[in-house]
Amino acid sequence: MRVAIEGLATPDPLGRRLPAVYAADDLAQRLTDAYDQVIAPVHATLDSLWAYFDPALAPPDFVDWLGGWVAAGGGRDAAPDERRRVVAGAVARHRVRGTAAGLAEEIRLATGVTPEVAESGGTAWSATPGAELPGSAEPALTVRIRASEPTAALESRLRAVVEANRPAHVPYTVEVLSLDGGPAAGGPR
């Protein structure tokens, strides 16, 4: 919430705009000064409105609102500088949403771990009709992360991120392995 700032002056005091008969009136000047004190933060906000839409410059509470506006994701409990970075990169992440690279970045942001993402699809170009298509005919997605302490909570968070960012028609499998390559938690979905 924005509040009055002690000593903040308005750039255009209302008392200067009064007709001459009121310009010398002490009561009129005090009333307009009171109005100017109330309206000064509005002028200051409007004069710097552009800064509210830049995650690097916006007030911390506005960064959270801006993050919701651009569907930035990420946790609101992240450090302020990290939250600003997540909000600033939201549009770039939306550009690759649904791709293996986009999914990997969302998982890294949510878990702090770089995942291994294996998908069945592929792209190719051929001048020959009926050429062999890359990938598999059956869509599939496997996401694997390695963590020092694989937990059910980490697997649950991973599933939630994959569910929200994978192509809707693609079944997926998540695996949470220990760093030494021990048994996996998770499975097909």
CATH number where 122 lies: 3.30.300
pLDDT digits (tens, 9 = 90+) for 76-90: 677 889 899 999 999
* 43/107 same-domain check: no
The number of beta carbons lying within 10 Å of the beta carbon of residue 118 is: 12
Structural domain for 134, as ranges: 99-189
The structural domain count of the chain equals 2
| C-alpha distances in Å from residue 180, one per residue of 159, 170, 176, 183 | 22, 29, 12, 9
- Asked whether residue 9 is domain-assigned, the answer is no
CA distance 122 to 135: 5
* pLDDT exceeds cutoff 70 at 185: no
What mean pLDDT do residues 12-29 have?
Answer: 90
CB 174 within 8 A of CB 189: yes
Q: Given 24, 47, 70, which residue is the final one in a domain?
A: 47
CA distance 23 to 109: 60
CA distance 118 to 100: 8
* 33/106 same-domain check: no
